[in-house]
Structure 1
Amino acid sequence: MKIAVIGCTHAGTAAITNILSMYPEAEIDVFEKNDNVSFLSCGIALYVGGVVKDSDGLFYASVEGFEEQGVRMHMEHVVTDCDTNNKTLAAKNLKTSETKKYQYDKLIITSGSWPVTPPIPGSDLENVQLCKNFHHANEIIERSQAAKNIVVVGAGYIGIELVEAFEQAGKQVTLIDSESRILNRYLDEEFTSPIEKTLAEKGVSLALDQTVSSFQGKDGKVSQVITDESSYDADLVIMCIGFRPNTALFTGQVDMLDNGAIIVDEYMQTSKKDVFAAGDCCAVAYNPTEKPAYVPLATNAVRMGTLAAYNLVMPRLAHQGTQGTSGLKIHQHNLAATGLTETAAAAAGLRLGSALLEDTYRPEFMPENTMLRLKVVYEMDTHRIVGAQVISEGDFTQAMNTLSVAIQNKMTIEQMAMTDFFFQPHYNKPWNYLNQVCIKAMKQIEEKQIGQQKAVS
């Protein structure tokens, strides 16, 4: 069995690792445009900030390791053509410019994503940087040494982490985003406002609700970022607007969402027989809405890559869907989220309710304690939990993993309210905070029902 794998970051690495153990007789050809595999891009900010000293720690597999196991690693190769009907592809060697054709029996597309790059005038100026791969990380570190004013465009997870890293390095940092809040895709206002307050206190300039219109430069190097409201000095600009699926090669060959994300079934099979896909190039079953969605996360990628290998010959192990669970630490704030925010749930057309808990996590008699803020979002009609968020100076982020399981299994607020959690004063209260927030939601529903009954009578 000849297997071709296009791309080798998280999904590709997971697929190859499992194929080697499950199908030892397989012939594997891997095509990767970079000169490395398995780069953990989520560690870029830690690398830039000096928390990670050795960049080798940002890789969990190697080209040499795969080659020793018999994998044919075509590094610095770009697939220029793929015929999924005849099961052939062409790949160009970027070092020699030579193009060769290859045949396969099974194809796994793990081509990933690429940063969104709007056609902003001046984007080609020196020191306007993308932030995606290992080479980007090294360039950012090198160029930031001499930079005094750094502008980060995009207030998602990567952008916020970079802002923190640059601020801690003593740089003058400006954060620009077209939305009115940071992290608006992941968190509701009750959870973003404390982070914005901390960043402002640390000296970060928040240029929110502004859109970049151009970059201005001197001697070919960026010097200012111009928005629809103002202008900002910049020796270095990092673009972190978001990502889009890298799937143009397969347009018209497999089914996709409007944004180009490849649609796969629960076994990672595309609409074309013997063609599988996994990772950031794909849509994934999103349990909160029960519809396919584009959720580019490393956790989704490694699961999907693993499943592509498991189901390569026959359907064996189904994908259970995702909640898009994620976490972040910014200064003293520990935060995490799973599923839909209240804002996103409303945009999805769900009739929803939410409950917000602000409380200490231990009994009041404990000498040391910490406040936490916890929110659950649920469907009003079914009471099904569809989302949750938490923030605290203590670390309660694992609560989102618990609620991720709840969403995946379609649990209601009543079921979570009465779920069995242990009690020990060092760790929690007799009613765990997960119980408490759902009990609060139950009471809100009861009060609303009583109010409706009184209005009718």
Structure 2
Amino acid sequence: MKVVVVGCTHAGTAAVKNILANHKDAEVTVFERNDNISFLSCGIALYVGGVVKNAQDLFYSNPEELASLGATIHMQHDVEEIDTENKVVKAKNLLTGETVSSSYDKLVMTTGSWPIEPPIPGRELENVLLCKNYNQAKEIIKRGADVEKVVIVGGGYIGIELVEAFAETGKQVTLIDGLDRILNKYLDKEMTDILEDELRNKGVTLALNETVSEFSGKDGKVTTVKTPKGEYAADLVILCVGFRPNTKLLADKVDMLPSGAIIVDEYMRTSNPDIFSAGDSTVVHYNPAGDSRYIPLATNAVRQGMLVGKNLKENQLAYRGTQGTSGLYLFGWTIGSTGLTELTANDAGFNVGTAWLVDNYRPEFMPTTEKVFMKLVFDKDSHVILGAQLMSKYDITQSANTLSVVIQNKMTVEDLAIHDFFFQPHFDRPWNYLNLLAQEALATFD
């Protein structure tokens, strides 16, 4: 059985390893346009901030490892055409210009995503950069070393992490976002108000509800970022406004969302049964809303890639979906979120209820404790929990994983309110703070 894998970051690497482990007769050929695989782009900010000293540590596999497992690896090969009727992939060797063709029985599309590049005048100026892959990370480090004024465009996780990294290294940082709050997709206003105050206290300039209209510069280098409301000095600009799926190769050949994300079933098959798709090029089943969405996260990618390897010949292991669970560390705050926010739950048409609670994570008689800021989002009709957000100077992020399981299993407010958690004063209270949060929600039913 000939298998061709196009693209090899998180989903591709997971797919190759699991195909070779589960199907001894598989002849796996990989085409990757870059000169590296498996780069953890979520570590770029850690590299910028000096937490990670060596960028090579952000790789967890390499072409040699996959080759040793039995795959044929074509690095720096850009796939230019896929003939789905005759099952042939054509790729160009970016070093020699040679064209290579490979036939397949099964095709695995793990082509990932690419940063959205708004058509802003001045985009071509030097020092206006993107943030996604290893080479871009090296460029950010190189150019960021000698600049003073950094402008980050986009207030999602990557943008916020870069804001912290540059602020911690003494740069003058401005964050511009077209929405009125940072982290709008992940946290509600109660949480983002606290974090925005923290950013301002650290000297970060927040330009929210503003969209970039122009980059201007001198001698080909950016000096100013302009919005309809103001101008911001910049020696370096990093665009972090989101990602789009890399799926043009299969346009009109498989079913996709309007965004271009490839639609798959629970076994990672596309509308063409001989084509699988996984990772940032692919939809996920979003459990809280019960629909298909585009949520490009490494966690989704590695799970989907594994499932490709399991289900290549027959349906063996179904996808369980995702809650979009995520964690963030920002200026000493640990932040976890999962499922729907109040805003997105309303958009999804639920009869939304919420509970907000601030409490200590362990008893006050202990030498130290920390407050936990918590919000629960639930359906007032069914009492099913839809989402949750937590924030503290104490590490509460694993509780986001607990709540992810709660949402995936459609547990109710009542279930969580009296769920069995251990008590030990070093770690929590007789009622765990998740119990207390659900009990706060329970009180709204009276």
TM-score tier (shorter): over 0.9
Alignment of 1:23-422 (within 5 A): 23-422=23-422
Equivalent position amino acid for 2:30 in 1: V
How far the C-alpha of 1:274 sits from its partner, in A, is 1.1
CA-to-partner distance for each residue in 1:325-351, whole Å, 9 max, x for gaps? 000000111101000111111111111
How far the C-alpha of 1:381 sits from its partner, in A, is 1.0
How far the C-alpha of 1:68 sits from its partner, in A, is 2.4
How far the C-alpha of 1:96 sits from its partner, in A, is 1.3
Please, which moves more after superposition, 96-105 or 178-187? 96-105
**In structure 2, distance between residues paired with 1:418 and 1:274:** 47
CA-to-partner distance for each residue in 1:251-306, whole Å, 9 max, x for gaps? 11111111010010000000001100000001110000000011110000000000
Verify the 8 A CA contact 2:37 2:62 in the aligned structure 1: yes
- SS of equivalent residue, structure 2 residue 262: coil
Equivalent position amino acid for 2:363 in 1: P
Equivalent position amino acid for 1:165 in 2: A
Please, which moves more after superposition, 6-15 or 354-363? 354-363
Verify the 8 A CA contact 2:17 2:69 in the aligned structure 1: no
**In structure 2, distance between residues paired with 1:308 and 1:25:** 15
**In structure 2, distance between residues paired with 1:56 and 1:116:** 26
**In structure 2, distance between residues paired with 1:301 and 1:295:** 10
How far the C-alpha of 1:100 sits from its partner, in A, is 2.1
- SS of equivalent residue, structure 2 residue 445: helix
Verify the 8 A CA contact 2:223 2:235 in the aligned structure 1: yes
Verify the 8 A CA contact 2:288 2:386 in the aligned structure 1: yes
- SS of equivalent residue, structure 2 residue 444: helix
**In structure 1, distance between residues paired with 2:407 and 2:438:** 13
**In structure 1, distance between residues paired with 2:4 and 2:432:** 49
TM-score, structure 1 as length reference? 0.96
Equivalent position amino acid for 2:270 in 1: T
**In structure 2, distance between residues paired with 1:198 and 1:356:** 20
Name the % identity: 57
How far the C-alpha of 1:8 sits from its partner, in A, is 0.4
Equivalent position amino acid for 1:293 in 2: R
How far the C-alpha of 1:69 sits from its partner, in A, is 2.6
**In structure 2, distance between residues paired with 1:147 and 1:45:** 16
How far the C-alpha of 1:365 sits from its partner, in A, is 2.0
Q: Which runs of 5 or more structure 2 residues have no equivalent in the other structure? A: none
How far the C-alpha of 1:247 sits from its partner, in A, is 0.5
How far the C-alpha of 1:418 sits from its partner, in A, is 1.5
- SS of equivalent residue, structure 1 residue 126: coil
Verify the 8 A CA contact 2:19 2:308 in the aligned structure 1: no
How far the C-alpha of 1:85 sits from its partner, in A, is 2.2
Equivalent position amino acid for 2:87 in 1: K
**In structure 2, distance between residues paired with 1:158 and 1:125:** 22
**In structure 2, distance between residues paired with 1:104 and 1:433:** 53
CA-to-partner distance for each residue in 1:215-256, whole Å, 9 max, x for gaps? 001111111101111111111100000001111111111111
Q: Which runs of 5 or more structure 1 residues have no equivalent in the other structure? A: 447-457
How far the C-alpha of 1:380 sits from its partner, in A, is 1.1
**In structure 2, distance between residues paired with 1:394 and 1:70:** 45
How far the C-alpha of 1:144 sits from its partner, in A, is 0.7
Verify the 8 A CA contact 2:125 2:222 in the aligned structure 1: yes
CA-to-partner distance for each residue in 1:98-130, whole Å, 9 max, x for gaps? 222210000110000000111111111111000
- SS of equivalent residue, structure 1 residue 4: strand
**In structure 1, distance between residues paired with 2:80 and 2:311:** 27
**In structure 2, distance between residues paired with 1:366 and 1:139:** 47
**In structure 1, distance between residues paired with 2:17 and 2:120:** 40
Paired residues in the alignment total: 446
**In structure 2, distance between residues paired with 1:70 and 1:398:** 37
How far the C-alpha of 1:21 sits from its partner, in A, is 1.2
